[in-house]
């Protein structure tokens, strides 16, 4: 595959990841409005995603025996990438508009490039740094367009929500820097979600706050099921993009998720936004272009020949 086609393939994968990630904010809001507890949604989601990836691993005969170092990687990645940020998102979602929550989480790339520069975990060219901060400008344009949101009512929750992108950024850097070299994205994803499900299930059982699965389903149960499916897609793409192209590039999915989250919020909750929001769209595309087509290529652990 030519370099130009490979770059566009990266962008396509990034958009799929960002769109599914943006939908998750609305799905979590539906689950919260149905009265489901944070621990219930998080546990069932991890169990559901684990079932999906165990099935894939079984069908592809990709079983492996993890080393102690790999188990530590799975635990840290699961905590930073799932248990921490998803738990916070579930806790905060009922108190913050879906669009605003997507905007805050979209700051992940800014924190990612800051950590990458500080720790020098991967090459970051001036053009890529510019792209990240152009993306931040796009997100800020969106934020200032939120005329329908009373920021004075949600500011304490919004402040707490900023912990989410910080944790995601730490996970981006950790996964890119410490990826187990002998494993692929499906194997890592399978191990991470199994470990997360094992850690969460006793807490879920002890809480006694069970989500009703054996009665006629309503919007709450369907939102949890869709959350499981979108998490499976988004998480696999996250691991694969991070492994192939580095943490900074993968973190751009946060900028895409903000627009996707707003569009899903408009479609599902009737949220409305000013025309200023749409001025941010070309700015976001400029950010993606600067990071994707910079002279210094994103880090590639494997040959381009492994791409589809």
Q: How far apart are CA 25 and CA 94, in angstroms?
A: 10
Higher confidence at residue 216 or residue 118?
216
pLDDT at 241 over 60: yes
Higher confidence at residue 302 or residue 293?
293
Per-residue pLDDT band at 89 (split at 50, 70, 90): confident
Both ends of the chain: CA-CA distance in Å? 8
State residue 306's pLDDT score. 37
Average pLDDT score, the chain: 82
Q: Own/partner pairs for 216-221, CB < 8 Å, 24+ apart? A: 218/34, 219/30, 219/34, 220/30, 220/31, 220/33, 220/34, 220/35, 220/36, 221/34
Give residue 276's domain range.
Answer: 3-306
58-62 average pLDDT score: 93
Range from 55-64, 91-100, 230-239 carrying the lowest mean pLDDT: 91-100
Ramachandran category for residue 301: left, alpha or beta (phi over 0 → left; psi -120 to 50 → alpha): alpha
152-160 average pLDDT score: 66
State residue 305's pLDDT score. 35
Indicate the angle between helix axes 108-119 and 126-144, nearest 10 degrees: 150
State residue 273's pLDDT score. 64
Number of domains in the chain: 1
Higher confidence at residue 122 or residue 162?
162
Q: Is the dihedral of CA 173, 175, 181, 184 positive or negative?
A: negative
What proportion of the chain, given as a percentage, has pLDDT over 90? 34
Residue 215: exposure state from Cβ atoms within 10 A (0-12, 13-18, ≥19): exposed
């Amino acid at each position: 595959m030519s370099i130009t086609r490979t770059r566009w393939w990266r962008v396509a994968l990034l958009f799929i990841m960002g769109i599914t990630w943006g939908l998750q904010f609305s799905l979590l809001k539906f689950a919260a409005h149905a009265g489901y507890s944070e621990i219930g949604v998080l546990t069932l989601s991890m169990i559901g995603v684990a079932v999906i990836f165990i099935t894939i691993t079984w069908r592809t005969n990709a079983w492996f025996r993890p080393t102690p170092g790999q188990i530590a990687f799975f635990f840290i990645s699961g905590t930073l990438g799932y248990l921490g940020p998803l738990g916070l998102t579930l806790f905060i979602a009922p108190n913050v508009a879906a669009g605003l929550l997507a905007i805050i989480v979209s700051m992940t790339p800014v924190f990612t490039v800051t950590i990458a520069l500080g720790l020098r975990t991967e090459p970051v060219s001036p053009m890529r740094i510019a792209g990240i901060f152009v993306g931040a400008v796009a997100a800020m344009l969106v934020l200032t367009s939120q005329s329908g949101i009373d920021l004075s009512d949600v500011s304490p929750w919004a402040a707490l929500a900023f912990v989410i992108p910080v944790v995601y950024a730490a996970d981006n850097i950790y996964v890119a820097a410490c990826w187990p070299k002998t494993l692929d994205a499906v194997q890592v994803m399978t191990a991470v979600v199994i470990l997360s499900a094992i850690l969460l299930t006793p807490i879920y059982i002890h809480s006694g706050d069970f989500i009703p699965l054996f009665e006629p389903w309503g919007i709450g149960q369907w939102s949890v099921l869709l959350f499981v499916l979108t998490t499976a897609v988004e998480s696999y793409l996250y691991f694969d993009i991070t492994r192939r192209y580095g943490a900074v590039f993968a973190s751009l999915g946060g900028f895409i998720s903000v627009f996707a989250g707003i569009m899903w919020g408009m479609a599902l909750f009737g949220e409305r936004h000013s025309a200023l929001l749409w001025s941010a769209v070309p700015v976001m595309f400029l950010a993606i272009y600067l990071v994707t087509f910079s002279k210094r290529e994103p880090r590639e652990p494997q040959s381009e020949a492994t791409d589809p």
